[in-house]
Amino acid sequence: MPTNTAAMHAIRPLDARFVVASALALALAPLLSAHAAGGAAAPAQTASELSARAEAGDSDAMYLLGVMHADGRGVEEDDAAAIAWLERAVAAGHARATTRLGTHHASGEGVARDDAKAIEYYRRAAEAGDAQAMTLLGARYARGAGVPKDLRESFRWYLRAAAAGEARAMHLVAEMYLSGRGVGRDDRRGAEWQRRAAEAGDARAMAALGAMYAKGRAVGRNEREAFRWFERGALAGDATAMANLGVACFDGIGCEPNEAEGVRWLRAAAECGDVTAMVALGDHFAGRGGAEPDHGAAHGWYVRAATLGHAGALTSLGVHHAEGRGTEQDEEEAARVFRIAAEAGVPEAMLNLAALYRAGRGVARDEREAACWSLNAASVVSRSMRDGAKAIARKDLLALDEDARRGVEVRHEQWAGAWRESADEAHADAEGKSPNARWNPRDLTGGAARALAARVAAAYAGTPMQASAED
How many degrees, rounded to 5, is the angle at CA 416 between CA 410 and CA 417?
Answer: 95
> Which structural domains are found in the chain, ordered by start?
44-128 (1.25.40.10)
Q: Provide mean pLDDT across the span 368-392.
A: 87
Q: What is the pLDDT of residue 109?
A: 93
26, pLDDT greater than 90: no
What average pLDDT is seen over the chain?
83
The model's pLDDT over 199-219, given as tens digits with 9 standing for 90+, comes to 999 999 999 999 999 999 999
Q: What is the pLDDT of residue 188?
A: 96
Q: Give the separation between CA 286 and CA 282, rounded to whole angstroms.
A: 6
What's the pLDDT band for 451 if we cut at 50, 70, 90?
Answer: low
CA torsion angle 320 326 328 331 (round to 10): 0
3, pLDDT greater than 60: no
Q: What is the pLDDT of residue 461?
A: 55
Rounded to 10 deg, the angle between the 275-285 and 295-306 helix axes is 160
Q: Provide mean pLDDT across the span 60-67.
A: 94
Distances (CA, A) of 88 to 83, 107, 150: 9, 20, 33
Q: What is the pLDDT of residue 424?
A: 55
Q: pLDDT: is 126 or 74 the higher one?
A: 126
The model's pLDDT over 167-178, given as tens digits with 9 standing for 90+, comes to 999 999 999 999
384, pLDDT greater than 80: no
Q: What is the pLDDT of residue 32?
A: 39
467, pLDDT greater than 60: no
The model's pLDDT over 285-325, given as tens digits with 9 standing for 90+, comes to 998 877 789 999 999 999 999 888 888 898 999 999 999 99
